[in-house]
Structure 1
Amino acid sequence: MGQPYAEQLAAKELHCRTLLAAHSSLQWLPPVGSREAGFRNKAKMVVGGSVRSPTLGILDAEGRGVDLRECGVCSPGLQACLPAFAAFISQARLTPYDVPRRIGELKHLIVTESPDGELMLRLVLRSENLIGRIRRHLPSLLEALPQLKVVSVNLHPEHKAVLEGDREVVLTAQSTLRMRVNDLDLHLRPQSFFQTNTEMAAALYRQGSAWVSEVAPASVWDLYCGVGGFALHCADPSRDVVGVETSREAIASAELSSGDAGLQRVRFRSGDATAFAVATRPEPELVIVNPPRRGIGNDMCGWLESSTVQHVVYSSCNAKSLARDLAAMPSFTARRVRLLDMFPQTSHYEAMVLLERS
């Protein structure tokens, strides 16, 4: 932060070019810049302080709450709702979790805003003790924030540096948040992953769809598909598309979106991407991979090397693991790359590469 945005973007492109310097055939498309502030659609706030005076933000080195309600990377809609959530904590007497002393109940607030300005709120609790109290006070919160459509409680009983637990209890009649991206409605369930910069996500999906349309494969696998963003954008009456993701919640979201759009040749599967690829025949003509920061790893690289796949679209949030994975697939030539600045004011970015079998 504090560095002029043009310099940030140039530094990120230089970083990516340096890591991918071995790929001399690469065509570098112009980078896609983001809004400098107010771009983030999701706020993951640690709850600190006290019932009477809660903080929403992070913890300092001693475990005390530091309030970040006015953080400039959050969208204006997120910033506007945070005071109402702080008031709700006080009204419902939701005791913030004290990390050093390991007492209290409310650990985090996770808030997501849709492109239409609707909100999803997730309250991460240590136990079920406060659920009844939250239910009783919830009508007043919904009245104060009419744009709040989905509210859930996530149960995270363990004392460890993990944002949330496995169990989710939805408290509203509506259980999904509609994320309108390009011409598609992507349904987001509480435990589903979605890119935190909606405008950059739309650009990412447009670029991926354009490359797939150019190659015109008859079959596509979208591995690590999340809520199905790439798979749904690549749907075509002449093409079979399969999305694979470990999260059952994400797959349920993707199936709902596909059904709403009336897509006949798009299917989704819950499971490990590498296990699916190794066990499934016939192999597709094109594979899209959008893995977490660790990359696709040796097993997936090995399968792609030995497969009949002709093209790969690799979308990466970590150019170091991207470079490592490309080096492990010498049968493919990197043809085109585009940097999309998903994370302004940080050193992180998204890089998308089109690979072709040599």
Structure 2
Amino acid sequence: MKKNEHVFGVCSGYTSDGHGVVKIDGFPLFVKGMMNKESGELVVTLVKKSYGFARLLKLDKVNEERVSPACPIAKQCGGCQLQHMSYKEQLAFKKQKVQDVIERIAKLDVQVEDVLGMTQPDHYRNKGQIPVGVVKGQVVTGFYRINSNTIIDTDSCGIQSVKINAVLQTMRSLFKKYGNAGVFRHLLIKHAFVTGEVMVVWIVRQKKFAHREEMVQELVQTIPEIKSVVLNLNTREDNVILGKQEEVLYGESFITDEINGLKFHISAKSFYQVNPVQTKVLYGKALEFCDLKGNETVIDLYCGVGTISMFLAQKAGKVIGIEIVEQAVRDARENAALNGLNNVEFVCSDAAAYAKKMSEQGGRADVVVVDPPRKGCDQVTLDSIVQMAPERLVYVSCDPATLARDLRILEGKGYRVEVVQPVDMFPWTHHVECVVSMSWAEK
């Protein structure tokens, strides 16, 4: 097989990122935008030793779940990879994605549950991170073209909240009115769904610039839900979005949101789940799998700003949250105090180091919850969890492949996987989160 060769093939499944898989004489080609059971003409674009890539030229047979992308820049943007699939097909793809790695990597005979999806999978994001530029004298805002730093100009996004889009449109008008868009690098807009409060962060190249005060005044007059305008100075030459220096231009340095009756202060740099509707579903499943009776000690590894910890503290005897990022720990402690929770404490420590220290000291917990970054847990963390031997272990994951790897290790050390529950936190993208319930099998 050679580059630029034209072939005809039938799609037999998907890659983990949603590309169609077409096998030509057993040789797999990955085809962006092609769906399962479709057939058509392809042109080969890249050939590797054991696989290749191809571009879809013409469909001969079309999957009945194919839809026209609602977003006009779907092909250029790359933020949403599955806009050609119906939502039903997206959920089916994500379930199979998880099932495949559970069988292939974890080597477990466990049936993955149906993905918990959304009733309304649009406008779900409570955070917009939008680059700003000036091209040939014209203001551009939007999202980067796939594999480039070119901004695809747009004034709205179908997965951002309607309010975030309104703020973006207002900012574009102000840029055009005052001609100072060149000072700006990004706009960061956060929208608290329950309270309705909005934060706008101006990420700029210099602190002082023409018409700064007028822009703040007009922005908050146009959109009264804005409770915070923060200037963030970033003079770096790399791709890091937020700088270290901040100045509050209007209101407070935070906005407040609620999940399941718990209040959270959200600052410019706070980590907060971007889909609040599904966050409640995800954390609710984690709480269900913990099976708390009211007197348990729970350790929450990689706790971030303590959202899961505080969910658990409503049912547990005591919760200890572990997080290595100092600012996140400060936010977690502040949020616990905000909610009057005195049975939760937060420790600033590397998760592996804390788990190892606790296991060496003979400490134990009734339940351990882990919510690691995409790379999953390291071996020290897994060994230390096993040494502590909690009766229940709940694993929250944003990457099915590293989840499967870790489940294989834990199964080999005495834990039994009971339920694998995928949750769709990011409709229209190939990402899927999972919550796994495990129990100590060796009695």
- Normalising by structure 1, what TM-score? 0.88
Report the CA distance between 1:194 and its aligned residue: 1.1
* CA distance in structure 1 between the aligned counterparts of 2:234 and 2:422, rounded to whole angstroms: 36
Structure showing the higher strand proportion among its residues = 2
1:121–1:151 CA contact under 8 A, matched in 2: yes
- Alignment correspondent of 1:30: 114
**1:82 match:** 168
Structure 2 counterpart of 1:278: 356
- With over 3 angstroms needed to count, the CA separation of the structure-2 counterparts of 1:167 and 1:301, relative to structure 1, is farther
Q: CA deviation at 1:126?
A: 3.2
Within 5 Å, which residues of 2 pair with 1:1-358?
1-21=83-103, 22=106, 24=108, 26=110, 28-34=112-118, 35-49=120-134, 53-60=138-145, 63-91=149-177, 93-96=179-182, 105-115=183-193, 116-130=195-209, 134-135=212-213, 137-214=215-292, 218-236=296-314, 239-280=317-358, 282-329=363-410, 330-331=412-413, 332-358=415-441
Q: Match of 1:328, SS?
A: helix
Aligned-partner residue type, residue 276 of structure 2? T
Distance 1:92 1:247 in 2: 39
**By how many angstroms is 1:155 displaced?**
2.9
More deviation, 1-10/135-144: 135-144
Give structure 1 stretches of 5+ with no counterpart.
97-104
In 2, Cα distance between equivalents of 1:108 and 1:19? 37
For 2:249, give the aligned amino acid.
L
Judging changes above 3 Å, is the alpha-carbon distance between structure 1 residues 239 and 40 closer, same or farther for their aligned structure 2 residues?
same
- Residues 46 and 109 in structure 1, CA contact (< 8 A), matched pair in contact too: yes
Deviations 1:7-41 (A, max 9, x none): 11001001101111245464543321023211111
- Residue 272 and residue 33 in structure 1: after superposition, are their counterparts in 2 closer, same or farther (change >3 A)? same
Report the CA distance shift for 1:320/1:217 in structure 2 as closer, same or farther (over 3 A): farther
Tell me if structure 2 keeps the 8 A contact 1:125–1:154. yes
Task: Assess if the C-alpha contact under 8 Å between 2:389 and 2:440 holds in 1.
Answer: no
Unaligned runs of 5+ in 2: 1-82
Structure with the larger RCO, 1 or 2 (CA within 8 Å, 6+ apart): 1
8 Å Cα contact 2:392/2:440 also seen in 1: yes
Q: Distance in 2 between matches of 1:62 and 1:290?
A: 31
Partner SS for 2:250: coil
- In 2, Cα distance between the equivalents of 1:300 and 1:134? 49
How far is the alpha carbon of 1:50 from its aligned partner? 5.5
Structure 2 equivalent of residue 102 of structure 1: none
1:218 deviates by 1.4
- Tell me how far 1:52 sits from its aligned partner: 6.6
How far the C-alpha of 1:69 sits from its partner, in A, is: 2.2
User: Cα distance 1:210–1:157, how it changes in 2: closer, same or farther (>3 A)?
Assistant: same
* SS of residue in 2 equivalent to 1:74: coil
- Find the counterpart in structure 1 of residue 5 from structure 2: none
Q: Partner letter of residue 242 of structure 2? A: E
SS of match in other structure, 2:291: helix
Q: CA RMSD in A?
A: 2.4
The aligned amino acid for 1:77 is K
- AA at the equivalent of 1:338: Q
> Residues 257 and 95 (structure 1 numbering): CA distance in 2 closer, same or farther, change over 3 Å?
same
DSSP-derived class of the 1:112 partner: strand
- Structure 1 residues 181 and 52, CA gap change in structure 2 (3 angstroms): farther
Residues 375 and 402 of structure 2 are in contact (CA less than 8 Å); yes or no, is this contact kept in structure 1?
A: yes
Q: Secondary structure at the match of 2:123?
A: coil
Query: Which region of structure 1 is more displaced relative to structure 2, 115-124 or 62-71?
Result: 62-71
Deviates most, 106-115 or 61-70: 61-70
> Displacement of 1:73 after TM fit?
1.1
